[in-house]
Amino acid sequence: MARIVRHERNTPYEVAEGTELPVYICACGLSKNKPFCDGSHKKTRDENPADVYVYDDIGRARVKTEY
């Protein structure tokens, strides 16, 4: 069964301690290199925070919510 998961954050988490260089962990859910950030969150910059979106390889679509 497919599910829609809402991600509240559109920037990665930085893990700086214990690493030579900072490591960034995906928080938007779009990275193709999970758990690491690949910059995919940049696609979400112009989203309306009150809306829910679905992304695929072609682009995004706003989801009409009933609740």
pLDDT tens-digit map of 33-66: 999 999 999 999 999 988 888 898 899 999 887 7
Rounded distance, CA 67 to CA 27, Å? Answer: 24
Please report which confidence band the pLDDT of residue 4 belongs to, taking 50, 70 and 90 as the band edges: confident
Q: Which residues pair with 15 in a beta bridge?
A: 23
What pTM does this model have? 0.75
